[in-house]
Structure 1
Amino acid sequence: MSRTVVRVRVLVGEARRLGVPESRARLRFAEGAKAPGAWAGRRLVVVDDEPAFERSFWCGTCPFLFRRLEGANQTLSLDHVRERLALRLTEPDGAVVEAFAALLPEGDYLPLLLRIEPRLTVPGQEGDYFSHEQVATWGIDGFWGLPEYPHTPYYRTFETAVGDEAHLYEFVVPMVPPTWNERDRVEEYAGQMRRGAVPTAVAVSTLDLCQPAMDDRSADYYEHWGLTHFLLDGHHKLEAAASSGRPVQLLSLLALDESDSPARDHRRLAALRAQHRRGRAAV
């Protein structure tokens, strides 16, 4: 895989307690019902009490996953901060953080302000993580005989080496597919970006670390760091950036309590995210 030397920008705030009681949160993280004989239910992102996404299983040895479910059918934009988000932020804006935290369950969050260059990716097509990098490590699903399928187009934004035995992959996952976006708004943002504007989108994020339990010598065996940004606001901006080849900012609230990764790796994210973008060199 080719390597690109695009430098990326990241600003990190202080980890802090944010959110509202779970009963008042519009988006929350939950465990699904246990299947007969299972030790745990599916890990879910729930929006307005409807399962919106399935996430990687708890064990850490199953393939990394985000999969859209029927509850992912609306965005979570906030009109009263729209003007702030139309601009390039110079730091994780406290007013914006507090506004979106009111949609989320109480917990510890790490604000990240990222400059991203999104590439729209369609499952099964060129550049699809699930059909390429993941299959190289886990192979195809033993029951379905197919790669994992996320049931949504998504954006690939960044990747880099964590070391010889680990690699970071970053994704932005829209709440609704780009085909639902209003064409006029996408074109308006694309025009602004071509004139130099760098607006800001907002997401709640998780970092899951996944690695097969057994080292299959025929596979590209290493630990996959999946940094997933579930997009709350900015669906038109992301599509505009991808279609025009322009950057956009992403204000991410990394949900530390809901990430299947240790605190020491959360602390490494800023340095990793500031590295050069680099694809995985299979060994």
Structure 2
Amino acid sequence: MIKTGDPCGLGASSSEARLHFDTELQELGGGPRRRLLMVDDEPAFELSFYCGTCPLLFRRLETAREKLSLESVQERLTGALADPNDGGVIEAFGALLPEGEYLPLLLDVEPRLVVPGKEGDYFSGEQVTTWGIDQFWGLPEYPHTPYYRTFETAVDEDAHLYEFVVPMVPPTWNERERVEEYIALMERETVPTAVAISTLDVCQPAIDQGGDYFVHWGLTHFLLDGHHKLEAAATVGRTVRLLSLLTLDESLAGAENAARLPALRAQPRSARVTRQATRRP
């Protein structure tokens, strides 16, 4: 299931929004400017670099400690939203976001919890096939958080879409009783709704260094509401409806790429068929 609303202006002034995007210099030696997702003026996640040639990234930082649920819409989110504009949910969460243009997407996701470095980890799997390991650390990128993989599909022969749902705090911080409550609801065929602010980052190395050189489209949903719902769904193999508020201003993708998302997201799920590059000895 996928529904999309029209691009719309949302958000509060910079002094009132609880979330915003920012950049800062690396602490050691200046370096490239870090792209950050900020919560309550604290850096919560480091994101992909603006250059678009560095690897896709979402890295949880030490100051990421806050969830952003809203009590005023909890009852409406217990079940599945039928439309992105249903029940005033966009307006309620829009007040947390920075002013800008957003594309609302209503998606059904089947989350699978992934631990970095373990089976199914994008950063030590698909990303390494294209970028190789970090030349300084001698290791893959490390996101410093468990996360959920939900969907992937081919964009074309030379590009692939990967979708992630990233909790603001680790699942180990969730309340066990609430997770069990949502498991019980899901077993009675209830599909609850989660809410996220999302980015679309399109990344491709400047030169071919890996075994499979292609463009990575990363659709990353940072959870505003739904931490217990996602863990419950991953535990029992159920579906969650996700209202994604995709920022068009802060994504590393053009408007034409964002406009393709509804059609791409409606395609069947398919894994990338790795094509080993032919190299001269």
Question: Shorter-chain TM-score category?
Answer: over 0.9
CA distance in 2, matches of 1:36, 1:121: 31
The offset of 1:35, in angstroms, is 5.5
CA distance in 2: counterparts of 1:207 and 1:259, whole angstroms: 5
Residue 253 of structure 1 is matched in structure 2 by 245
Q: Name the SS of the counterpart of 2:15 in structure 1.
A: helix
> Runs ≥4 in structure 1, deviation > 6 angstroms?
none
- From 107, 122, 126, the counterpart of 1:114: 107
1:204-232 residue CA offsets vs partner (Å, 9 max, x unmatched): 0000000110123x520000000000000
| Alpha-carbon offset, residue 41 of structure 1 | 1.4
Shift in alpha-carbon separation, 1:72–1:88, aligned structure 2, 3 A: same
Indicate the residue corresponding to 1:187 in structure 2.
180
Give the corresponding residue for 2:279: none
Equivalence for 1:45 = 37
- Cα drift, residue 33 of structure 1: 2.9
Q: Relative CO higher for 1 or 2, CA cutoff 8 Å, sep ≥ 6?
A: 1
Deviation at 1:87, TM superposition (A): 1.1
1:53 and 1:34 map into 2 onto residues whose CA distance is 14
Q: Out of 190, 213, 219, which is 2:211 matched to? A: 219
TM-score (norm 1): 0.95
**When the two structures are superposed, what TM-score results if normalisation uses the length of structure 2?**
0.95
Q: 1:245 to 1:36 in 2, by over 3 A?
A: closer
Q: Percent identity?
A: 68
Equivalent residue letter for 1:282: T
Q: How far apart, in 2, do the equivalents of 1:278 and 1:166 lie?
A: 12
Q: Which residue of 2 aligns with 1:6?
A: none
Matched, 1:105 2:92: no
Shift of 1:71: 2.0
Equivalent position amino acid for 1:58 in 2 = Y
User: Aligned residue for 2:146?
Assistant: 153
Select which of 157, 164, 171 maps to 1:171.
Answer: 164
1:12-31 map, 5 Å: 12-31=4-23
Q: Is the 8 A contact 1:181 1:236 kept in 2?
A: yes
Aligned to 2:60: 68
**Structure 2: where are the runs of 5+ without partners?**
276-281
Give the RMSD, CA atoms, in angstroms.
Answer: 1.2
**CA separation of 1:71 and 1:35: change in aligned 2, threshold 3 A:** closer
Partner of 1:128: 121
- Paired letter, 2:246: L
Gaps of 5+ in 1: 1-8
Count of paired positions: 274
Instruction: Give 1:94 shift.
Output: 5.4
